[in-house]
Amino acid sequence: MILQLDPANAVPLYRQIRDQIRQLITSGALAVGDRLPPSRELAQRLGVHRTTVANAYADLTADGWIAGHVGRGTFVAESPQAAKPVHPESRAAGRGTAHPSYTATLENGYLWSTLFADQPADDPLDFLMADVTAAADRRVISFTTARPADELFPVEEFRRATSDVVRRDGRTLLQLGPSDGYPPLKEFLRQELAREGIQAGDRELLITNGCQQALDLVRKVFLRPGDNVLLENPVYPGAIQTFNGGGVRCLGVPVTEKGVNLEALETLLNQQRVRLLLLTPSFHNPTGTTLSLDARKRVLELAARHQVPVVEDNIYSALRLRGRELPPLKALDTHGLVVHLDSFSKVCFPGLRVGWLVASEPVIERLRVAKQATDLHTDQLAQAALAEFCRRGLLTKLIKRARTLYRGRLERLEAALAAHFPEGVTWTRPEGGMSLWVTLPAGLDAGALLYKARERQVLFAPGRFFYFQGTQPNTLRLSFPCVKEKQIEQGIEVLGGLIKSELRQRRPAERETRRRARVALV
């Protein structure tokens, strides 16, 4: 069974798989009783996540094209016409009814798709997270994930800090705690915030499970179906996952080399009723761009004029690698309109899932109540361990070492790009953070490039994962903190070679197109 997926196509991958298998059945290439490969196996073969294949199989089963038998496998069904069509897009058909055949398919776990609230989408976040496993393979050179380099983690010092804080405060931190966070951690963070120019009272600070949960809480408190939210486009896929859907409409503001495009932002604010604006002013993910001080002030003026709360994702800001420090939006926020998000996940230990939110007291109070209904509070062991780790000055030391290491890797990456990437490819020049954004010549497809690069054991994040509209398939993100310098050189050389060969193949085709176009125009 041979399937050809087009990752740049707007049709979700699971539908491409579904439609091609249906095509193979109707064309007779797959006969009744033929066994389909297990979803895990097919997923591996196609280089997609297993869920994608499972979703395709679920649709085909619901429509009667294939049937699963527990312990035996999945087969082309006797007669798709005979089966009652229960296409998940008409989900209501599966609801509340008591048809015996439904029970049968439900036992196989297939009809579940009709019981879920919505249809699955391809999940870029899943791709980026799944890469965690791939990156553990030392032969693979992965520019995919924006994570800290764990070779720097002072594990033994962390262990001692954890052990001491459990000895001192164990009974309290093992018991249910306050929903706004572990007091000593809040105290430490308030001091740190003050050093960044943010005066936050205890009731203006809420501990979260990292920035991802902060986004989820912001959505719960601020957005209803029908609301518009402005995001940079491209943007962190976790923000798309959180905000896009459930009737909320994401409007994209394009990003220039100097960060979000202010003219486009103003135009959108004038044209649309906007409920919320989400920005990453420092070292924006995925582009690595940064807003100047003037641009920051302008954003705040626009937000105040339009009465739009601004959610500031500050997660990368401690990782300035060159250039002058800039104040976060929250430090300039005279109107109290900024909801400031930050986290430990880029500077030390993402495995602990601890972040924080700073905003006006009424906002934090609502977020706190939402947090409580979501999971009561953030794990106190992680909060206490981090508080003690920071109190001992270990975070400051770690950040210093990380900046030096990442600066070296960024410079090495830029040198390799200049050496190996052909003319016509451009990239951003980040002042910090973890990623750099590459634009290939128009017409090239980073998705197709990834398929070939994967065969050569080189991985990166194709740009399409970061767009929620107007996808530019010729873009890609390279994250550098976890790639050793020698591997950076090797990986970029491989990618450069692939791009060059792509350009060579493309030229005759382009000439062909131009020739034919000319003919047709005559």
Should residue 372 be labelled a site residue for a second copy when binding is judged by CB under 8 A?
yes
Q: Which of residues 331-350 bind a second copy (CB under 8 A)?
A: 334-337, 345, 348-350
Cβ of residue 103: shortest distance to a second copy, in angstroms? 6
Q: Are strands 426-427 and 355-358 parallel, antiparallel or unpaired?
A: unpaired
Most distant CA pair in the chain: distance in Å? 85
**Structure-token pair, residue 24:** 């193979």
Tell me the number of residues near a second copy by CB under 8 A: 106
Q: Which of residues 135-154 bind a second copy (CB under 8 A)?
A: 145, 147-148, 150, 153
Q: Closer to a second copy by CB, 154 or 408: give it.
A: 154
Cβ of residue 248: shortest distance to a second copy, in angstroms? 10
Site for a second copy (CB under 8 A): which residue of 69, 138, 156, 393?
Answer: 156
- Reported as type and span, the H/E element at residue 197 is none
CA-to-CA separations, 266 to 213, 230, 253, 262, in angstroms, rounded: 28, 11, 10, 6
Half-sphere exposure of 152 (CA within 13 A, CB side): 24
- Reported as type and span, the H/E element at residue 461 is strand 461-462
Site for a second copy (CB under 8 A): which residue of 297, 306, 407, 456?
Answer: 306
Q: Closer to a second copy by CB, 178 or 327: give it.
A: 178
Distance CA 322, CA 94 (A): 58
CA-to-CA separations, 515 to 444, 504, 519, in angstroms, rounded: 20, 17, 6
Should residue 69 be labelled a site residue for a second copy when binding is judged by CB under 8 A?
no
| 319 neighbors 337 (Cβ within 8 angstroms) | no
The count of residues in the chain is 522
Q: Closer to a second copy by CB, 23 or 172: give it.
A: 172
Strands ordered across the beta sheet of 426-427: 426-427, 435-439, 475-479, 461-462
Distance CA 296, CA 500 (A): 39
Cβ of residue 365: shortest distance to a second copy, in angstroms? 5
Cβ of residue 475: shortest distance to a second copy, in angstroms? 23
User: Among 313-321, 369-377, 430-438, 506-514, which window interacts with a second copy (CB under 8 A)?
Assistant: 369-377
For helices 394-420 and 155-174, the axis angle rounded to 10 degrees is 130
Site for a second copy (CB under 8 A): which residue of 83, 268, 382, 434?
Answer: 382
Q: Closer to a second copy by CB, 248 or 495: give it.
A: 248
User: Among 2-10, 16-24, 267-275, 282-290, which window interacts with a second copy (CB under 8 A)?
Assistant: 267-275
Q: Closer to a second copy by CB, 383 or 439: give it.
A: 383
Site for a second copy (CB under 8 A): which residue of 19, 34, 379, 414?
Answer: 379
Site for a second copy (CB under 8 A): which residue of 221, 268, 310, 417?
Answer: 221
Site for a second copy (CB under 8 A): which residue of 65, 188, 222, 466?
Answer: 222
Cβ of residue 233: shortest distance to a second copy, in angstroms? 18
**Structure-token pair, residue 101:** 């055949």
Distance CA 261, CA 218 (A): 23
3-state secondary structure 344-360: CCCCCCHHHCCEEEECC
Cβ of residue 317: shortest distance to a second copy, in angstroms? 19
Cβ of residue 79: shortest distance to a second copy, in angstroms? 24
Site for a second copy (CB under 8 A): which residue of 63, 216, 313, 388?
Answer: 216
Residue 431's contacts (CB-CB under 8 Å, 6 or more residues apart) are: 283, 290, 320, 321, 322, 323
Q: Closer to a second copy by CB, 421 or 480: give it.
A: 480
Cβ of residue 108: shortest distance to a second copy, in angstroms? 8
Fill in the per-residue mask, 416 to 455: x = in contact with a second copy (CB under 8 A), - = not in contact. ----------------------------------------
Is the bond preceding residue 234 a cis peptide, omega within 30 degrees? Answer: yes
Q: Which of residues 71-130 bind a second copy (CB under 8 A)?
A: 94-98, 102-103, 106-107, 109-110, 112-113, 115-118, 120, 123, 125-126, 129
Site for a second copy (CB under 8 A): which residue of 3, 262, 331, 381?
Answer: 381
Distance CA 257, CA 269 (A): 21
Q: Which of residues 180-209 bind a second copy (CB under 8 A)?
A: 208-209
Q: Closer to a second copy by CB, 56 or 425: give it.
A: 56
Q: Closer to a second copy by CB, 246 or 424: give it.
A: 246
Is the bond preceding residue 286 a cis peptide, omega within 30 degrees? Answer: yes
Should residue 363 be labelled a site residue for a second copy when binding is judged by CB under 8 A?
yes
Q: Which of residues 158-177 bind a second copy (CB under 8 A)?
A: 158-159, 162-163, 166-167, 170-177
| 321 neighbors 431 (Cβ within 8 angstroms) | yes
Query: Residue 47: how many CB atoms within 10 A of its CB?
Result: 14
Cβ of residue 236: shortest distance to a second copy, in angstroms? 12
Measure CA of the first residue to CA of the last residue in the chain; give whole Å. 43
